[in-house]
Chain A
Amino acid sequence: MSVILLASIGILALFMLILLKMPISFAMFIVGFFGMLYMTSPMAAYNIISSGIWEQLSGYSLSVIPLFIFMGELLFRSGITEKIFNSAYAWIGHLRGSMAITTIFTSAGFAAVSGSNTATAATVGTIALPEMKKFGYHKSLSAGSVAAGGTLGVIIPPSSVLIVIALQAELAIRDLFLASIVPGLILVSLFIMTIAYLCKRRPEIAPVGERSEWRARLSSLKGLVEIVVLFLLVLGGLFAGWFTSTEAAAVGCVGALTIIALQGRLTLHVLQKALASALKSSAMILMLVTGAVIFGRFLTVTRLPFLVGEWAAALPLPAVLIMACVLLVYVIGGALMDAMGFLIISIPIFFPVAIALGYDPIWFGIIICIVTSMGAITPPVGVNAFIVKSLDPALSFGDIFRGVGYFLVPYMTCILLLLMIPQLVLFVL
């Protein structure tokens, strides 16, 4: 049997198992193992599920994942979301659409400590949806801004998706974090411009709020300063080269523990909850990463990724067109599957293609992160849309997806901008 055929059977089997509702990580373990068993020897295949798993799990670089997740869980319990929301509203509440804009700012702020799109949508939505309802915001606008704002969780650093991309593609976490800042800011700006445009065209969808006094604005910053300082210390220290990514995450955990202790919120119960939640997410992510390594080794043995890369590079088409096709695969994949799951499966296949086409690996890591995160708001999966629905069952899916539709235009604009001008991502490196 030719290796190409075998690799294709492997990929097909993987998707079949996933469609049969087998967890993605389990499917990658199983297909990778049996692929190796067929391609190499029983000894090599058994080694990969014993010494291979041990070596993968005991790698120093993986420790960054539970640490960053734990930091986010601790800060989430510091009441950061309410503080950002109240502060943003105090500053811009007098503008039309301010509550929706505040939702985007709060999502961006929460994303800076969280790193998960579902956590961002659920946390911000819990506060923002009832507020927007109270102020008479149109259902579509409120649902759309919460769902779309949630996707910022994986784009703005620190992000567990970016860490996984870095580990999968063997890139520096620091570089990916640094490179994601400008695209994140572009996306936030485009979201806000979209809200402003919608409010200008249809003023009835977003009533104007009251203007806060300067004293209220300044006092709203209380309790936020220390979190901003921690964020600057963690990411600044990482970017300046003071810490490795694991050290930056550990500093973040110590800082977060200190902040909630000073607030008087650090109880054994809070610590247990934060640890349990962080450990659950970490186990899920690291199983995905380990499964992807086993599946990736099988693909490497078949040489499929390199052959696809060579084939794509030899096509008589402009590189940008081929890249657009690759990104289309990510749009579809992101719409059908969880972003992290799809990224983990696809990176071993498409990363060599991007390199063969002459694209920068960091740029590719950032753009696929943005494209797949868009999948969190596009049907049929659109996990953030389901989170919004669960937070406010009175919202219909029609309202939610109409609202989400407003934010697909800025998403596409951002992707096109980054595709046409890669320097927007790379100039900071």
Chain B
Amino acid sequence: MYKLNLLISRGLLGIAGVTLLAIVLLVAANIVMRQLATSYGGTSEIVGWLTAVVVSLSLAHAQLNKAHVELDILMAHFPDRLQAFIQTIVAAASLLFFTMVAVKLWEYGYGVMQRGMVSQTLRIVIYPMIYVVALGFSAFCLVLLTDVASSMKRLVTK
């Protein structure tokens, strides 16, 4: 399970990295174009979408590396078994909540596709980007599932 998560999160991180480089190039090119002729009107729209892609596809990697800020001052004083129990509950609650977020994002993307919604400036469909964000959150949930499993394992072995 861990290896699968590692594989998925690395793959998504690779796409996020290329996307971040694309943002750099797009914004820099727009500055140059502004000096030479006229700026590209859709830059802010595209950069916004790409930022959403960058963040969502990096979520799984960030969770795998425990990058999210948490506070340890109270839990550190609890006995190991109690810590493991609370961690299991917290991990399960996080998993349930973000699974709901991922499902709602897939539904939202589907709704946007059904309604044929397009962006304000470029007038192009946005649902593929929403699907990518939903995919990022789904991969993130997969890592949370591993967290639940490992805290349960810790609870049993303590």
- Partner-B contacts on A (CB < 8 A): 17-26, 29-30, 33, 46, 49-51, 53-54, 57-60, 62-63, 66-67, 70, 243, 246-247, 250-251, 253-254, 257, 272, 275-276, 278-284, 286-288, 336-338, 340-341, 380-381
Are A276 and B13 also in contact (CB < 8 A) when A23-B68, A254-B24 are?
yes
Q: Point out the residues of chain B lying under 8 angstroms from A50, CB to CB.
A: 101, 104-105, 107-108
Q: Report if B75 contacts A (CB, 8 A).
A: yes
Min CB distance A127 to B, Å, is 25
Which 4 pairs show the lowest CB-CB distances between chains A and B? A23-B68, A250-B27, A50-B108, A283-B62
Asked whether, in the complex, the Cβ of A22 is within 8 Å of the Cβ of B67, the reply is no
A318 to B55, CA, bound (A): 44
A229 to B70, CA, bound (A): 38
Asked whether, in the complex, the Cβ of A246 is within 8 Å of the Cβ of B69, the reply is no
The contact string, 1 if C-beta is below 8 Å from chain A, for chain B 66-107, is 011111111100000000001101100110011011001101
Q: Point out the residues of chain A lying under 8 angstroms from B104, CB to CB.
A: 46, 49-50
Asked whether, in the complex, the Cβ of B28 is within 8 Å of the Cβ of A254, the reply is yes
By size class, the interface of chain B is 35 or more
A-B pairs with beta carbons under 8 Å apart, 17 shown: A18-B71, A19-B73, A21-B72, A22-B90, A26-B94, A50-B108, A53-B105, A60-B47, A67-B24, A243-B31, A278-B20, A279-B13, A282-B55, A283-B58, A284-B68, A341-B71, A381-B71
Q: Identify A282's interface contact among B54, B72, B107, CB under 8 A.
A: B54
Q: Point out the residues of chain B lying under 8 angstroms from A276, CB to CB.
A: 13, 17, 61
Q: Report if B135 contacts A (CB, 8 A).
A: no
**SS class, residues of chain B in contact with chain A:** helix
Q: Report if B116 contacts A (CB, 8 A).
A: no
Q: Identify A336's interface contact among B52, B58, B73, CB under 8 A.
A: B73
Asked whether, in the complex, the Cβ of B49 is within 8 Å of the Cβ of A58, the reply is yes
Q: Point out the residues of chain A lying under 8 angstroms from B56, CB to CB.
A: 57
Q: Identify A337's interface contact among B52, B68, B71, B94, CB under 8 A.
A: B71
A275 to B58, CA, bound (A): 10
Asked whether, in the complex, the Cβ of A283 is within 8 Å of the Cβ of B71, the reply is no
Min CB distance B108 to A, Å, is 4
Q: Identify A275's interface contact among B17, B98, B105, CB under 8 A.
A: B17
Are A280 and B65 also in contact (CB < 8 A) when A23-B70, A53-B105 are?
yes
Q: Point out the residues of chain B lying under 8 angstroms from A246, CB to CB.
A: 27, 47
Q: Using A21-B87, A22-B93, A23-B70 as known contacts, list a sample of 10 further A-B pairs with CB atoms less than 8 Å apart, ordered by residue number in A.
A: A21-B90, A26-B98, A30-B93, A54-B108, A67-B23, A246-B27, A247-B27, A280-B58, A287-B55, A287-B62
